[in-house]
Structure formats: C-alpha cells, structure tokens
Chains A and B, each alone.
Chain A
Amino acid sequence: MPDTAQRWRRIETLFHRASAMPAGERTAFLERECGEDTELRRTVDDLMQSDSDSAVLEKAIAVEARHAVDDVQPGEIFGAFRLEELLGRGGMGAVYRAVRIDQEFRQQVAIKLVRSHLRAEDWTRRFLRERQILARLNHPYIARLLDGGSLNGRPYFVMEYVDGVTADTYVQQHSLSVRDRIGLFQKVCQAVSYAHGQLVVHRDIKPQNILVQAGGNPKLLDFGIAKPLEEDEDGALTNASQRVLTPQYAAPEQVLGQPITTATDVYALGALLYALLTSHAPFDTSGLSGFALEKAICDQDPPPPGTLVKLDPDIDAIVARAMRKEPAQRYSSVAALEADLARWLGGYPVEASRGNWQYRARKFLLRRAGAVVAATLVAGSVAAGFASTRIQQQKAERRLEEVRELANRFLFEFHDSIAALPGATQSRQMVVARAIQYLDRLAAETGGDRRLEADLAAGYERIRDIQYGYDFGHLNDVEGAVASAQRAVNLRGKLLAASPKDPATLAAAAKANLGVANLLAETGASLDQAKTYLAEAQRLFAAGARIQPDTLAQLRNDSAVATAAAAIENAAGNGDAAVKAARRAVALQQKAYDTSRDAADVPRLLNSVQMLGDALLLGANLPMDALAEYQRGLQILPLLPAGVPQEMQRSQFVARIGISYAIAGRHKEALPYRRQALELAEVIAARDPKNALTARDLAIACLNAAQNEFKVGSKAEAVRLARRMVVMFEVAMQQSGGSGQSRTDYAAALEDLADYLVRTEGRAEPETLLQKAIALREEIVRQDPQRGVYQSHLAHAWTQFGDCYARWGEPGKAEAMYRKALAAYEKLERDKRINGLDRSDWQRTKENLAKLDTKKK
C-alpha cells in the first residue's frame, strides 16, 4: 500500500528532523508538522521517547546465545556417562538424562550442568570436599548423588534419575486433599530430617526440587549442592551468595548472608508447605532485588495460607511457626515440624498454637468427644476412676512430648555445635550434660509408662554412644558412657520384666548389657562386673533365640559376645584367653558374613579382626601374628558398604601395622606405614579441627612417626614430630575439657619428647618435661586409684626417669626412680592388673637397676 509506505517515510523524516534540533524547539516543530493528525504526532512522540542507546535487541540476543552455547548435545560424554536427552533447563543450569557407559547394565542417571560464577576448578574442589558426605545420604526420598566434577570447564554433577513431576505440579494434577498434601510433605520432612542427622543441610528446598514419582513418593534433588556454590573453604559465604538461589523460598538469614543451619531448612519447608497448600509461593519476589528483596523477606509476613485457600487455623499457625524470621523461634527441628503436623492429622492440639489454654482445652474435648459420651452413659460410680485415668493419660502425654521435644532439640543443638560453635567437643559435652539432666528427671517419674521407659532407654543409649562410641564425634568420656549405659540397662530390665517373652525386648536388653560390658573393658576397671554384664547379655540373647530362632542373628550376637569377652580378658592381662575369644569372634562373624554377604556385616567383621590383632599384640605380645590380622583387616576394608568413608578404619589398621613392626623391632618396614598413618590422620583432623578425638589421633600418629624416624636415625625429624605431637595432645586436652584420658595422653607426650631430647640435647629441658609429666600422672592416679592402667603408665615414667638419671651419671637418683617403678609393677601384679607389655617393662626395669648395681661395683 503506497499510503503506508508514504506514511512510514513521513514518520521517519519527522523523527530525524526532530531529533536533530534542540529539545526546546521540538514541540513547536511537531505541532506545526502534524497539525490535526494526532495519531502521527503520538507515533513520533513515542519514537522520540524510545530513542536511547539501550540495546534491547543485543541484550535479548546475549541472553539467548548464552543459553544456546551453554547447551550440550546428546551423545556427549561426561565422565562415565553419555548424554541422552535434555530434561529441563533452569537458570542455574541444564539437566540431561544420561546413561552409564562403563558398565554392562544400563544405569540411567540425570546429569546437571551447573552454570555458576565459580571457575570450574573452584567448583570441582569445593564439590569434591562435599561429595563424600553427600554420597553417604542414602534415603528412599532423596535422589542419590553419584558423581560430579568438571569437563571442558563445565561443572556438572550426576544424580539418580527420577521419573516424576515436580511437587507443586503433582498436587495440582492429582487434586490432592489438604490431608494428602500434608502426607506428601511429611515424607519430604522425613528425608530432610534424615539428612540433618547426617549433618547435611539442603539450603534450597522448593517445589521444583522435589519430584513426585508415579506411586506418590517424593524424591528430593540437589541435596547439599547449594553449599559448594555458596560457601568457600572456610564456610564463609562467597560474593555470589548475595544472589540467593531461590528468593521465594529463601530464609532471612540466607538473604542477609548469615550462617546457614538446619533452621534454614525448617524455614524453607514452611515455605514449601505454604506453596503446596496454596499453589503460591509465600513471597512474590519477581522484580525485587537488593534492599527491597531483603526487606520483603526479613520484615514482611506473607499472607497466611488460610487467606488464600480454605484451611484450619492450626495449619496457618504451623506454617507461621516454621517460617519465623528468627531461626531460634522456628520449630527446633524438622522432626518437630513433622510431629506437629502428625498431631494435627491425629486431631491433637498442635504445638504451634500452644500457649492458649482455652484453645487446648477445646481441642482436647473435641478429640475425646467419643470417650466422654461413652463415659457419661455409664455415669456415677465410674466417674472418679475415669477422671484419674484421664489425668494419668495427660501426664504421660506431656512426658512423651517432652522426651520427643528433647530428642529433637538434642539433634538440633548437637548438629549446631559440630557445625558452627567454637570448641565443638566442649559444646557437645554441654549438650550431653543437659540431655542427661532431662533424662534423669523424666526417669524418676515414669509412672510405669512403658513407652516412655523405652524412649528414655533409647535416649540413654544414644547419649552413651556420643560419650564413647564408634562414631567420629564421640567425646572419649568412657566413665560417663558407663553411667549412661547402666541407666539404659535398668530401664531395659524393667521393660523386660513387663514382657519377658518378647524377642525385641529381650534383644534390646541383651544389647544394653553388652554395651556396659564393652565399656567396662575399655576402662580396664571393674572387670568382674564387666563379666557379669556379659554373662547376662549372653543369657538374654540365648532366651531370645529360643523364642525366635534366627541363625544369622545368633552368629552375629555370639560374635559380639566373644569380642567383648576378648576385650575383657585382654584388659585383665590374660593374653591367651583374649586371643582364644577373639579368634572365635572372628570365625563366627566371618561365617555370618559368608552367609549373608551383607555389607552391613563388614564393619562387625573388621571390629572382631581388629580385636584379635590387639589381643595378639598387647595381650600375647606376638606382633607378627597381630600384623597378619591387621593386614587382613586392610583387605576387608574395600568390602565396606559404598559411601561409608574408609579413612578412619584404614588409619586404625595402618597405624597398628606400623606399631606391630615397631614392637617386632623392624623399624625400616614400619616407616612407610607410620608415614601413611600420619597422612591419614592429618586429613581426618583437618576435616574437623575442633574435634578432640581427631586431634588426639593426629597426635598419636605424630608420636608413632617420631618414634620410627628416631629408630631409623632421622633424629631432627623425630624431635620435630615429637614437638608437634605435644602441641596436638595439648589441643586435644583443651578441646576435651581436660578429661583423665587426655591428661594421661599429655603426660605421655611430655615423656616422649623428653626421651628424644635426652638423646639429642642437653639435660635441662627433658628433666623439666619429665617432672611435669610425673606430677601430672601422680595426680591422675590419686584421683582414680582403681584404674591399673594409670599406675602402669606412672611406673613406666619412673623407669624412664631412672634411665635418664643413669645416663646423666646420677645412679642414686636413678635407683630411687627404678625402685618406685618396681613397687608399682609388684602392686599391679598383686591386683591382677598387669598385662604383657607391663611385664616386659617390669623386666627391663629390673635389668636396668641391675646394670646400675654392676656399674656401682
């Protein structure tokens, strides 16, 4: 149409002419030119206003090009995986379905290519740091992390392939009822709660990160992946953390760049529940950034979900409680949130609405409506009885809630103390002390409620394992653990009296007794008592087996009993009996593993093998036989379940091989094991610098390496390592708050450093060190005269001091030291607390004293 073309040219001409003239003259010019043609005038005005340098087109191209080039093509290989098809794309990257190509079976996985501000090598380093922890997350509702790294500068990670739709889509597609939505949400809570137990925080929970499978079960994606993206090595938030991953679901502390804890996930779960119930995110953050976003999330409360859809006010209260701005005001844990939803589903008063007693009373009446009606029908005579029953029931309910709350708070605080607080070991001691107070108070008045008693017993057992267990974080407080274990035994005994034929109750009681026996063996004290507990455990296991025979369980139980027996005999100095029991334990557990082929049997097998090695080494003084067992342990290690970290176990066996060679006098062969053990200890300690136990392990590795370097002639290296060892033992002593064990360790460290210095340096420093060590040891023995091991250490220190004086040419002082040592060894023998090593030390002391006499003559 010529008209259109003409008009277009006219518009163009006016635009250019107007643009060319000074701004003040434009209006008059356009008025004159356009006249009555208001549409022409408006078009040109629009164009003039739009005339700027802003490159709209270039920006759009840049965005699209970035997406385009970040894409990869099906068929590309990532590590052991080949990409098959694009599943989806988000701002932070694209996700592909892929298959494993290095295996015969066709394993489908999802590969996420991460787009991040991080350079590929930074991502890879951070990711690898987290990978071991994340790979250990093994829960039916968590998509497993399989692998990750970077390829051609593209960071990526590999996870389990999940066939499902996102949670928000799922609840809408299936028009789920409120109860069903909450049921789905509770499953998500279980997964998050489990991960918190493994000390992993998700940090980016939202509907899009949860896929629901056809059966209705959820799978959480990207667990813990946000951490390497947000935080650097020191746990400090990186610059990019200002760019919160998903602001609609981000907690205030995330927006403010404050520390992330399990409470952050509690908040996000609250926001998730909000979204699942209302189909809206709690905050509309589109177009907000910086201060405005911060203000919205930190200052404003979202409209209660009940204002968007029809909901019980209790649900509003639950969501609000989870989404409190202050982390401490939220549910103390995910489990507490889930429990409150369970209360709501069951018609019980919810925690979130507590404080309003009228509300509580109304709710109580509502739930008991049926019972009240039934009771009034019977009337009169029964009324009194009914009232008292109800009071009892209320009392029990309150208790159970208290216990559950305690357990929840405990998990929360425990996690917190490991993750954030300075002096982790001391914080955990504080938490444990408080937990024991709670448990003791509740145990005093259970009113015979069996459920409560069972909860309390489990509580004490958990505390016991934290005080002294096989986990990495235990407090090395063996006496405290014995006390907790005995309380658990008492409660288990009560429960057993009530149901003496129940297999589960029998097994629980047997295990509780076994726990005390093992701990007493560790202390080296009250060994007769240990045997009594062990006999009881054996009796209960047997009773259980008669009621419910189970060959595999019997093999495992018998092996556990034999291992404990070996530990007790070893502590009692009966090397041969210890070896015999340990051999039996290994044989039984090996049979159990051969029968089950269950990876869960591997840690048990390792435990019994290590016990046998220890019995051979310490009890029977047969280092080369022990060494063979430790080597066997190393061979078993790779059978551990996938995802179980092996460093800790490996370091135990490697260190013991070093010790065995050293005791056998084969120092050159020991050296590589010593060095390897030291490396492993460094790795483990660096991971958790505030842990007293790993600091101690590192100190011991230093000690062993120092000894070995000295023996092969590297004296300067030995002294360097010995000084490091003293420092690490001091760290361990401080971190553990100065427990008996840690002071003993420190004294031994001083003695060892003195030993090296005596041979390389002068006399002043070693003499001071030894005096300090002996004073410390004497104090320890005074405080705990029942423990033979402290006396044997003191005897050993006296002998050492005697050797020093002999070297310095002071036979009088030397003899006095030797005599003190001899007296101590004699006492140990009288008390039947002497072991193989003590005997050889005793012998050496006698010989050294004899040499002294020869010299004198």
Chain B
Amino acid sequence: MKDMGPAVTELLRSWQDGDRAALDQVVEQLYSQLRAVAGQQLGAEREGHTLAATALVHEAYFRLQGNAKVQFNDRKHFLGVAARAMRCILVDYARGRKRQKRDGGQQVTLEDFVAPGNSTHDLLAINTALEKLAAIDPRKVQLLELISFAGATYEEAAALLGISEATVHRDLKFARAWLKSELKGEGG
C-alpha cells in the first residue's frame, strides 16, 4: 500500500483539534483505496458497479463522520474504524433485509435463483460467530475485519496490529478455519 505520508496524520490531528473539514480531506485521501476495497468485495459480477461501490464508501464515510465520539489517532486507527464501520453497516443491512422478509411487505418479487455451491452463509450468522471469537481472541477478529471488511493488505494489517507478517498469515489461517468450523456447527 502506498505511503500516505505525514499529511494524513497532521490532518487527523487538526480534525481532533476541532477542524471538521480535515476529516473530509483524510477521507478523500483514503477514498480511492476504500473504493478499491468495495469494488473487490462486490466482484466483477456486473458492469457499471463502480458507481454502486462508491455509494457504499460514501455510506461508510457518513457513518464515520456522524459519530462524534470516534477519535482518530492516525491512519492506522482510521482503517481500523473504517473496517468496524463497514461491518456494522453490512450487518445492519442484513438485519433490515431479514426483517423485511419476515414482514412480507409489498412486492418482494422476482426472487433470485441461487445455484448450489454458491450458497453463501448469512452475514448475521457470521457476525454472531465473530462476536464469539472476539470474546476469546479479539486480535483475530480485528485482523479479519481489517482484511475482509476494509481490504487491508497483510503488510498493512501487520503494521496496524504491531505483529509480523508471518503472524498475520498464521492468525488468518487459523481464524478462517475456526470460522468455517464454527459455522458448520451452527448452520448444520
């Protein structure tokens, strides 16, 4: 990942000193990276998705900005918070969708045909598992959030969490295996 330089740190400091506009600039600088993250997550399933991915990033930004209690120490901190925010946003959506399905609602039609093998685990179930993991080993959850929700690189995650890259590899391997085995037990 490219070095964002001291500018970001400075801007964050200004923002903490009360300059709200500084946050805008920080986000702007992190924007392209975040967009790339969202783009990866959405996959290249459909053309014309760039706009939609941008919308997701905007959403993340609004949530971050709206939360006055969040204090960014530096870029590391921001990425960490961004990852957490992404998780919250998506879990919120998943809850909302589930609620709507239950309500019946109008015109929930033209249902997708989901092919087998493509079946995806419910993000809500994953969230529950992540909460369980956080109770035992919070660092691994942080790592998963950084890598999966914020799209951080291994190198970056290592720097952020103050661990070696080799540890990132090992922790991820274990955390993913655990998550999968946990979901297998839950979902049946």
Asked whether, in the complex, the Cβ of A245 is within 8 Å of the Cβ of B116, the reply is: no
The answer, among A47, A54, A112, for a CB contact under 8 Å with B178, is A47
Contacts of B107 in A (CB 8 A): 87-88, 90, 95, 110, 112, 162, 208, 211, 221
The answer, among A48, A65, A91, A112, for a CB contact under 8 Å with B42, is A65
B177 at the interface (CB under 8 A from A): yes
Asked whether, in the complex, the Cβ of A67 is within 8 Å of the Cβ of B136, the reply is: no
Contacts of B43 in A (CB 8 A): 62
Report the interface size class on chain A. Answer: 35 or more
For B106, the closest partner residue in chain A by CB is: A87
Known A88-B108, A208-B109: A8·B144 in contact at CB below 8 Å: no
Contacts of A57 in B (CB 8 A): 126, 144, 148, 176, 179
Contacts of B90 in A (CB 8 A): 61, 64-65, 68
Asked whether, in the complex, the Cβ of B181 is within 8 Å of the Cβ of A47, the reply is: yes
Contacts of A90 in B (CB 8 A): 107-112
A4 at the interface (CB under 8 A from B): yes
Contacts of B111 in A (CB 8 A): 90-92, 208, 245-246
Q: How far is the CB of B133 from chain A (nearest CB, A)?
A: 10
The answer, among B53, B59, B106, for a CB contact under 8 Å with A164, is B106
Asked whether, in the complex, the Cβ of A56 is within 8 Å of the Cβ of B121, the reply is: yes
Interface of chain B, main secondary structure: helix
The answer for the CA separation of A177 and B136 in the assembled complex, in Å, is: 55
**Chain B, 85-134, CB within 8 A of any chain A CB:** 89-91, 93-94, 97, 100, 103-116, 119-123, 126
- Interface residues as binary, A134-166 with B (CB distance below 8 Å gives 1, 0 otherwise): 000000000000000000110000000011111
A66 at the interface (CB under 8 A from B): yes
B48 at the interface (CB under 8 A from A): yes
**Chain A, 203-246, CB within 8 A of any chain B CB:** 204, 206, 208-209, 211, 221-222, 225-226, 243-246
For A150, the closest partner residue in chain B by CB is: B48
The answer for the CA separation of A221 and B144 in the assembled complex, in Å, is: 43
Asked whether, in the complex, the Cβ of B97 is within 8 Å of the Cβ of A67, the reply is: yes
**Chain B, 164-188, CB within 8 A of any chain A CB:** 170, 173-174, 176-181, 183-184
Contacts of A152 in B (CB 8 A): 51
Report the interface size class on chain B. Answer: 35 or more
Asked whether, in the complex, the Cβ of A153 is within 8 Å of the Cβ of B51, the reply is: yes
B154 at the interface (CB under 8 A from A): no
For B185, the closest partner residue in chain A by CB is: A46
Contacts of B173 in A (CB 8 A): 16, 19, 51
Contacts of B176 in A (CB 8 A): 50-51, 55-57
Asked whether, in the complex, the Cβ of B108 is within 8 Å of the Cβ of A89, the reply is: yes
Contacts of B52 in A (CB 8 A): 66, 69-70
A290 at the interface (CB under 8 A from B): yes
For A61, the closest partner residue in chain B by CB is: B41
Q: How far is the CB of A140 from chain B (nearest CB, A)?
A: 18
Asked whether, in the complex, the Cβ of A69 is within 8 Å of the Cβ of B38, the reply is: yes
B10 at the interface (CB under 8 A from A): no
**Chain B, 34-90, CB within 8 A of any chain A CB:** 38, 41-43, 45-49, 51-53, 55-56, 59, 89-90
Q: How far is the CB of A144 from chain B (nearest CB, A)?
A: 14
Known A50-B177, A90-B110: A64·B123 in contact at CB below 8 Å: yes
Asked whether, in the complex, the Cβ of B122 is within 8 Å of the Cβ of A60, the reply is: yes
Contacts of B51 in A (CB 8 A): 152-153
- Interface residues as binary, A148-189 with B (CB distance below 8 Å gives 1, 0 otherwise): 000011000000001111100100000000000000000000
Asked whether, in the complex, the Cβ of B110 is within 8 Å of the Cβ of A64, the reply is: no
14 A–B contacts from the bound complex (CB under 8 Å): A52-B177, A62-B43, A63-B120, A63-B123, A65-B41, A65-B42, A87-B105, A90-B112, A95-B106, A119-B47, A152-B51, A204-B109, A211-B106, A246-B113
A68-B90, A166-B108 are known; give 10 further A-B pairs, CB within 8 A: A47-B181, A52-B180, A57-B144, A59-B120, A62-B41, A91-B110, A93-B110, A114-B110, A209-B109, A211-B107
In the complex, the 9 A-B pairs of residues with the closest C-beta atoms, listed nearest first: A91-B112, A92-B110, A88-B105, A50-B180, A88-B108, A69-B52, A50-B181, A289-B115, A95-B107
